[in-house]
Amino acid sequence: MTAQAGICAEPNLHAHYLMFNILPEGNVSVVNALAKIPALWQELEQEYPDANFSGLVAIGNQVWDELYPNARPTELAAFPAQQQGQRVAPETPFDLFFQLRSDRLDVAYIAVQKVMALLAGIVELKDERQGFRYLDCRDMTGFVDGTENPQGEDRAQVALVQEGRFAGGSYIHVQHYRHKMARWQKLAITVQEDIYGRTKPDNIEYESAQKAPTAHTKRTSLKDAAGNNMEILRQSMPWGTANAQGLVFIACCNTPVNFTRMLDSMFVPDDQGHFDHLTLFTQAETGAAFFAPDQEWLSSKGDIT
């Protein structure tokens, strides 16, 4: 099976993110439209070879069975919402998620317009966000983002289902974070570094013994019962306006379990009351769970035996 290129793509300069809900009676038309997506991705890649374009469409947990009733990814489930006082990671379901990435902003916008034309009259655009590379792949907090990402062939091993009917697909979780920048910028750099567990200018991770139990890198570096690292592939990018800044967080994985465990570790206090203190300086405004099927699944409208 051929995975959608946007799942494992290397970092780009620009991205556009679209969230849609399907209009009443639109399911059949949406399945027919999604069947044209692999050809659209190929068209854009070939027409603008200098842009390093990659596309990704993923189908929401709640609508999957209506679009593809014959088979369902075994682990596809609702977004694992969190609420700990004022620290919240809400579930805000959407039917379709598009990630359109490119090294040329104009090509990303051309892709947006082609997707909008393809889905005209059958979906409603619910959320739109533009992402961009900030400095040397840093988050708007000033720290390098995605340092722990798998590299090379490991990207596919972590991000893609390896066997079965949905091989080549990926479980996708998307959150839009809005940073509390005024509060964050009041902190001394050393305090910021302790919150991350990593130095800011040169991106050197603290030794494990030096990390506070509340450090972001401590709370998100997890192992399973067998001692294996619970990895995800992050495809996140910053967003920003004159008045607000944040992160479009995107997790791609061969199972939703890893992301769920990480979010739990970030938000839920452990037996000593420790949680990820980075959650005190950023607020998740959306949270949705999707599955991004392989290109053949899309083209065949899910009619794969």
136: annotated active-site residue: no
Catalytic: which of 139, 145, 194, 276? 145
Q: Kindly report the CA angle at 179 between 262 and 20, in degrees rounded to 5?
A: 75
* Short-list 78, 89, 92, 76, CA closest to 255: 76
**272-278: Cβ within 8 A, 24+ apart:** 272/213, 274/213, 274/214, 274/219, 275/84, 275/87, 275/214, 275/219, 276/214, 276/215, 276/216, 276/219, 276/220, 277/195, 277/212, 277/214, 277/215, 277/216, 278/195, 278/196, 278/216
Q: Which residues participate in catalysis according to the annotation?
A: 145
